[in-house]
Structure 1
Amino acid sequence: MRNAVFLIKNGIGFGHIRRALILAEAVQKAGRLRPVVISQASSLVLYRNSPVRVVNLPLLHRVPSAVTEDFYTDLLDRLLDRLNPAVVIEDTYPDARYRRLPALADRPRILVMRRLDGLSLDQIRQRGDLAHYDRILIAQDEADFRREGHSGETLAAVESSNRFAFVGNIACAPRRSQATAVRREYSPHGAPLVVVNGGAGGDQMPDGYGHRLFHACHRIAAALSAEANPAVFVFVTGPYYAGGEIRPAPNVTVRRFEPRLPALLAAADVAVIKPGNNALSEALTGHARLVLVPDRSFMEGLDEHAARVAVYYGGAVGQPDQTSLEPLIREALARPPRQNRVEPRTEAVEAVVRELHQQTDGDRTIRVRRKQLLLVLLLPAAVDPDDHPTGKFPPELRDAVVVRERRHGRSVSAPAIGRGDPAGTPYAILIGKDPPDESPQALADLGVRALVQTSSSAAVDRWLHGQPVQPALLVLPAERITARPAFPDGVVRRIARQLHDRANAIAVLDLAGLTSNSMKEYLDHLGQWVARQPIELVGVPEIMEKLTDRWVARG
């Protein structure tokens, strides 16, 4: 059985490991691939009960010298070469160390990308760090992704490039029975249950986040106990916690590690948590009132994310100190259970497993495509494409796009090109030196995603860049060719020049100077030439896919 290797980045958190184990165990259950996890965790507690094979290596940032780091990299490369993976799965964001490993050079590679803040993902894309992956599976719903504040260029790349796919959130989904059992253990008499967790306990920055969070909550628990408030607290500090000692109390239980943390969070009445993906997802499966306490984060933008979550699901955002948290915890204990909860789903994990299986079907996924041509046949202004007998066009040109010079519809002042939704929303519009009458955002809101531009224009550049749009409008350079009745080889030569050194091209063929008879003869000649060439006539979405793919690969 071939190996599927999971490369996990880890240092001070458990999120990467939890996500990888969920996926690896699903791959193992499917039975077609053997998952192997290569990890860099300081603690192995999450691996103790997992059936998946694990190779755990020391953290790279602890390597004391360049010589030893080179040795470590060589060891990792030899290990990967011996495992001979059929597919490699990386987690969270690209890692330059993996990119340079010779053993990975020819492997199918998938990035399972967690939620990243807008600036971080934009920088990753601009550096070209995403170029090394066959697929990038975003572990979010599309609506959640759009709320992160990504740039227009990133939104356009994700929407149009075939490298990306939204699979949805990947997190542990505890069963109701598990939540009931763990609640009964920690609150046997039915007292309100407050769960406090700051992730795995490591600090992103040396600011003592964990120490401040837990000691503030310890003082709050003492104050409530003095008032005979029945609430009980469970502190799950995480194995990386390095703060001061936290003493148990009659209403405080302290656990360094709780393997049933997902069920405990789902069972809580109040969850005081760092809003990382795992803890937050697990808490949202239950009815706990949320008190979110952001920490310094790496590429997560936790402050902004916590504010959005608190508004959408209900809850509050505080700081890791008693002054901030005590009124929030007291208020949360007095409020009814949160009604807006998240039902556990398995679709995201199933989508990732399907993608891994598809990537290992090499004879199906490895292919060379023919050169692509978007051929726009521009009819005279007096002719409506809907009325023109396009069925009389040669069959070789049946995939050409037929428009007329000027078309007014749905407030779009430029002619629409390409397929649209059932309401007729265009994918692209044809422009020249003058910008359209509408603003870029107005066009994007109508469904326009590209501008087929036949002449470079400073006016269009100012119009486009002066009004940033989301998603960004992709400019597709095109060559406008005027059909000459006595010279059909002219258009053939112009298209051939475009495709000589490129994989795709766009030609706008102006047929205004042709009569009905000469048009038929002219297009028959063009169709016969196309049939003899390694050319595939495509629509706007296919051209956009290739161009945005380069955009992703090269930044």
Structure 2
Amino acid sequence: MKTVALLVKNGIGFGHLRRAVLIAEAMQKRGRLKPVIISQASSLSLFKNTPVDVVNFPLLHRVSSAVAEDAYTAILDRLLDKLDPAVVVEDTYPDPRYLALPSLADRPRLLVMRRLDGASFDHLRSQGRFVAFDKVLIAQSRADFALEGHSGESAAAVEWSGRFSFVGNLSYTPTPEEIARTRAEYAPHGEPLVVVNGGAGGDQMPDGYGDRLFSACAQVAERLLATGHRARFVFITGPYYAGRPLSETANVTVRRYEPRLAALLAAARVAVIKPGNNALSEALSGQAHLVLVPDVSFLEGLDEHASRVVDQYGGAISTADPDVLEQLVREALDRLPRTERPEANHEGLLQTLEAIEDLAHPVRPRVPQRQLMLALTFGKGRDVAGLRGMLPSPLKNVQLLDGTSAADADGLASETVSRPRDRAGIVALPGVEPPAVPPQEFIDRGARLAITPGPVPRAITRWIELAPAVPSLVVLAAEHVVAREGSLDANLRRIARTAARQETACVILDLSHLADDDDSVKHYLQGLAEWLGTQPVTLLTSEEAIARVAQRLLEQS
């Protein structure tokens, strides 16, 4: 059975480890691939009860960080070489240390990416961090991803490069029976539960977040007990908690780690949590009212995310202030259980498993031929739709453009966007002057790719940069070839030079100077088609061309 290596590294957070275990256990249960988790977690709590094989590297505290990092990388490289995984799955965000590992060269690689704030995603993309992955599964819905404030370039790369898929949030959803058992254990007499969790308990910045959160909640619990409130508090500190010791009291239970945290959060009446991806997802699956206490978190932008969650599902955002928390907890306890909650995402886990299996059993690769995007323009007044019927079979993937200028004074004419049925939109930007309308208007009308005759003019680049669309309008420079009577051979030589010079070439073939009759056009197109049939050239569809240009947005350095 083929092996899948799931690479996770951890010293503070715990959510991505839990997601990796969720995927690995589902993979093992499915029985088609053998998962192995490779970790560097400070705590083994999460792995104690999993049936999946785990290799956990120690944190090497007694040597310098540089030596420890080199040792970890070298041992990891040898381990991966020995495991010989069919697929390597990374989690959360791309780790640059893995890019140069010899053992990972030429292996299929997949990234399961939890939500990243827009600036962080854009930074990773512009550094080329996503290039190494055959597939990136974004653990968000498309709508939630759009709310993160991604740049137009990042949105275009995600939408059109063909490497990204949205699988929705991946977290464990407990059964009603699990929730009921957990509630009965922690609140045997039906007391309302207040669950407090700060993630794994580590501080991403040395600001004592865990100590402040749990100390404040301990004061809140003491005040509620003094007034005779029945609520019971459960503190799940996380295995990396390093704050002051917490004492159990008549209404406070303290646990360093709770393997049934998802069920406990779902059983709570109030959840006071750091709004990290996993804990928040699990809390939302239940009925708890949310009191979110954001902290510094790497690449997540918790404050903005917390605000969006509260707007959608209710709750409140707080600091670790006992006076503020007491009021919010009391108000939440007085309300009926929350009914607004997201749907369980069982399909997302299935999509993830299928994507891994597809990479584990790939189709044998083919040596790529030269690829060409060929666009035909016939001049103003010609019936472009009618001309498609006269195209010989080898030209079925050519793009048909009319002669309307995108910069016409009448504004954006719908004819400037070439969008045949089942094809993405292409707009031709003739000349050096940009259109009078902003790029977003082209995007809104279905355009995805702009082509320019010759090198992309600086004015066009500035037009796109100064009023960026989301997703961006991607641009491809094209060779402009004018067809005339008797020019076919010369035109073919020019097209051949363009295709040989560029891996993904684009040619705008202007047929407007041919005689204004269908026979002349048909004769020219037949000669073009016969020549293409003898060449190692594949005509790209508009979707393929757009995907290739969009992939360049992932390769910038």
Query: Which range, TM-score by smaller chain?
Result: over 0.9
DSSP-derived class of the 1:129 partner: coil
Runs of 5+ consecutive residues of structure 2 not aligned to the other structure: none
Separation (CA, whole Å) in 2 of partners of 1:534 and 1:61: 57
Separation (CA, whole Å) in 2 of partners of 1:42 and 1:142: 34
Separation (CA, whole Å) in 2 of partners of 1:86 and 1:165: 21
* 1:368 Cα deviation after fit: 3.2
* 1:459 Cα deviation after fit: 3.4
Contact 2:292 2:306 survives alignment (8 Å): yes
Separation (CA, whole Å) in 2 of partners of 1:36 and 1:488: 59
| 1:131-150 matched pairs, under 5 angstroms | 131-150=131-150
Separation (CA, whole Å) in 1 of partners of 2:159 and 2:402: 28
* 1:137 Cα deviation after fit: 1.1
Runs of 5+ consecutive residues of structure 1 not aligned to the other structure: none
Separation (CA, whole Å) in 2 of partners of 1:8 and 1:62: 22
Question: Which residue in the other structure is 2:337 paired with?
Answer: 337
Moved more, 252-261 or 63-72: 63-72
TM-score, normalised to structure 2's length? Answer: 0.95
Q: Deviations over 1:463-486 (max 9, x none)?
A: 222212211110111122110111
Question: Which residue in the other structure is 1:299 paired with?
Answer: 299
Q: Does 1:106 align with 2:109?
A: no
DSSP-derived class of the 1:449 partner: strand
Amino acid at match of 1:251: N
Moved more, 7-16 or 412-421: 412-421
Q: Does 1:404 align with 2:406?
A: no
Amino acid at match of 1:432: P
Separation (CA, whole Å) in 1 of partners of 2:68 and 2:292: 41
Contact 2:405 2:429 survives alignment (8 Å): no
C-alpha distance 62-366 of structure 1, shift in aligned 2 (>3 A): farther
| 1:379-528 matched pairs, under 5 angstroms | 379-388=378-387, 390-406=388-404, 411-412=412-413, 415-419=416-420, 427-433=425-431, 434-455=433-454, 456-515=456-515, 516=517, 517-528=519-530
* 1:63 Cα deviation after fit: 4.5
Q: Deviations over 1:52-93 (max 9, x none)?
A: 000110236775254454333221111111111111011111
Moved more, 117-126 or 509-518: 509-518
* 1:330 Cα deviation after fit: 1.6
| 1:244-393 matched pairs, under 5 angstroms | 244-362=244-362, 364=363, 366-388=365-387, 390-393=388-391
* 1:365 Cα deviation after fit: 5.5
Separation (CA, whole Å) in 2 of partners of 1:473 and 1:281: 34
* 1:493 Cα deviation after fit: 1.4
Aligned length: 550
Contact 1:414 1:436 survives alignment (8 Å): no
TM-score, normalised to structure 1's length? Answer: 0.95
C-alpha distance 329-65 of structure 1, shift in aligned 2 (>3 A): closer
Question: Which residue in the other structure is 1:197 paired with?
Answer: 197
Amino acid at match of 2:44: L
Amino acid at match of 1:386: A
DSSP-derived class of the 2:376 partner: strand
Contact 1:432 1:457 survives alignment (8 Å): no
Separation (CA, whole Å) in 2 of partners of 1:58 and 1:358: 33
Contact 2:419 2:446 survives alignment (8 Å): no
DSSP-derived class of the 2:258 partner: coil
Separation (CA, whole Å) in 2 of partners of 1:281 and 1:35: 24
Question: Which residue in the other structure is 2:115 paired with?
Answer: 115
DSSP-derived class of the 2:507 partner: strand
Separation (CA, whole Å) in 1 of partners of 2:61 and 2:544: 43
* 1:171 Cα deviation after fit: 0.5
Contact 1:419 1:539 survives alignment (8 Å): no
Contact 1:413 1:436 survives alignment (8 Å): no
Identity within the alignment, %? 51
Q: Deviations over 1:312-332 (max 9, x none)?
A: 111111111213312211221
DSSP-derived class of the 2:43 partner: coil
Separation (CA, whole Å) in 1 of partners of 2:63 and 2:545: 46
Q: Deviations over 1:487-526 (max 9, x none)?
A: 1012211211111132221111111111232222211111
Contact 2:411 2:437 survives alignment (8 Å): no
Contact 2:424 2:543 survives alignment (8 Å): no
Greater than 6 Å deviation, 4+ residue runs: 407-410
Amino acid at match of 2:428: L
DSSP-derived class of the 1:264 partner: helix
C-alpha distance 59-121 of structure 1, shift in aligned 2 (>3 A): farther
